[in-house]
Structure 1
Amino acid sequence: MRQHVNPLSSYHQAPRPLPPPAELFEQPSWPIHLDIGCARGRFLLAMAEAEPQRNYLGLEIRLPLVEAAEAEREALQLAQARILYANANVSLGPWLAQLQPGQLERVSIQFPDPWFKHRHHKRRVLQPALLNALAGALLPGRELFIQSDVEAVVLPMVALIEASGCFTRPAADPRPWRPTNPLPVPTERERFVLDRGLPVYRVLYRRNDQPVPPLLERQPGEMATAAPHP
């Protein structure tokens, strides 16, 4: 069951600066895998155990899940992983801008809250300003991985990412969806969906060498969108 939290509420819109890597990790210079919307954090903790050569930062807007995930992380003594409370569209951009060039190795956005109603689409996690911040922090060749079990959710993400001009799919990847997860650990939601024989819609992107585009001005009643790359 997904327990929705309105990211546009006044509480979640309050800016809350994220600690720099030096305050989060024992080895702050290691590359970082950022998982946005990490829920209970079990995917991230399993990744930290499976591939301990990098740091892992999970962001989650539901505070009880963050507290439970951090308690489990501490019990496992995983110094290269952290799970923090954050509204990614409010707090992540300034944090990304302070990273050392090339430090952000991979970003994953997996099974985000769908917010099906049209008037709620502005609550979806991947908004244009966030995508621009991610594109600005990822060097060419670094990865952005998205997946969902709701095609109507992942299609607008694909459209936004590809309209930015900053990301390309690996040439060998089948279209429109990858049949398998490129990461060694599935999320709990992924296992739940696959166990029931249902589809998962996945796309792996790599940052290309195109500059980050400007954002179009927000029109009344509309979300801002990334300007198509010339």
Structure 2
Amino acid sequence: MIGMEIRDKVTEFVKERISALRTTNPGQYQNNSVVRTNSMKYIPNYFEKGQLTKMFFLFPDPHFKEKSHRRRVISPHLLDEHAYTFAVGGIVYTITDVEELGEWVESCLDEHPMFELVP
């Protein structure tokens, strides 16, 4: 599992947490890491076509202003990039505490031909 985060403080916190888990659980959590990057720009540089089976979007920035919707991590123009990295049958998991963003994400995924809603 790899976490991709653009903010330094969050990335450092996750690195420290992974290190602590490895220390308290020897031999475990060796396949977990985090990298500071802009996944919106560089995800195809990290993964090959069809490589991912799961992707999690956890509490992304809602970018409330309409002119900033293009900067959302799940948006119509970025879903092609995400679809490229997915294996057939891959699953996208999303969670947010902003109802408007949750509805936006669901509509973007529903409208894209490579994704379908799984109840």
Structure with greater strand percent = 2
Please, which of 38, 54, 77 is the counterpart of residue 87 of structure 1?
A: 38
Please, which of 4, 8, 12 is the counterpart of residue 67 of structure 1?
A: 12
Question: Structure 1's 81 and 65: CA in aligned 2 closer, same or farther, altered over 3 A?
Answer: same
Equivalent pair of 2:44/2:85 in contact (CA under 8 Å): no
**Aligned residues between the structures:** 113
Structure with greater helix percent = 2
Equivalent pair of 1:66/1:85 in contact (CA under 8 Å): yes
Query: 1:129: how far off?
Result: 4.1
Please, which of 161, 166, 175 is the counterpart of residue 114 of structure 2?
A: 166
Whole-angstrom distance in 1 between the partners of 2:95 and 2:17: 25
1:106 is aligned to 54
1:148 is aligned to 96
User: Following superposition, which runs of at least 4 residues in structure 1 exceed 6 angstroms of deviation?
Assistant: none
Q: Which has the higher contact order (CA 8 A, sep 6+)?
A: 2
Equivalent pair of 1:89/1:127 in contact (CA under 8 Å): no
**Residue identity opposite 2:89 in structure 1:** G
Corresponding residue SS for 1:168: coil
Query: 1:164: how far off?
Result: 1.3
Equivalent pair of 1:69/1:83 in contact (CA under 8 Å): yes
Whole-angstrom distance in 2 between the partners of 1:116 and 1:92: 24
**Residue identity opposite 1:120 in structure 2:** S
Question: Structure 1's 110 and 72: CA in aligned 2 closer, same or farther, altered over 3 A?
Answer: closer
Spell out the pairing of 1:7-26 with structure 2 (5 A cutoff): none
Whole-angstrom distance in 2 between the partners of 1:159 and 1:145: 14
**Residue identity opposite 2:32 in structure 1:** A
Please, which of 82, 85, 90 is the counterpart of residue 134 of structure 1?
A: 82
Q: Which string of whole-angstrom CA distances, capped at 9 and with x for unpartnered residues, describes residues 41-77 of structure 1?
A: xxxxxxxxxxxxxxx1111111111112112212222
Whole-angstrom distance in 1 between the partners of 2:102 and 2:95: 7
* TM-score (norm. length: structure 1): 0.45
* TM-score (norm. length: structure 2): 0.82
Higher gyration radius (CA): 1
Whole-angstrom distance in 2 between the partners of 1:74 and 1:136: 31
2:26 is aligned to none
Identity of aligned pairs, percent? 26
Whole-angstrom distance in 2 between the partners of 1:91 and 1:82: 17
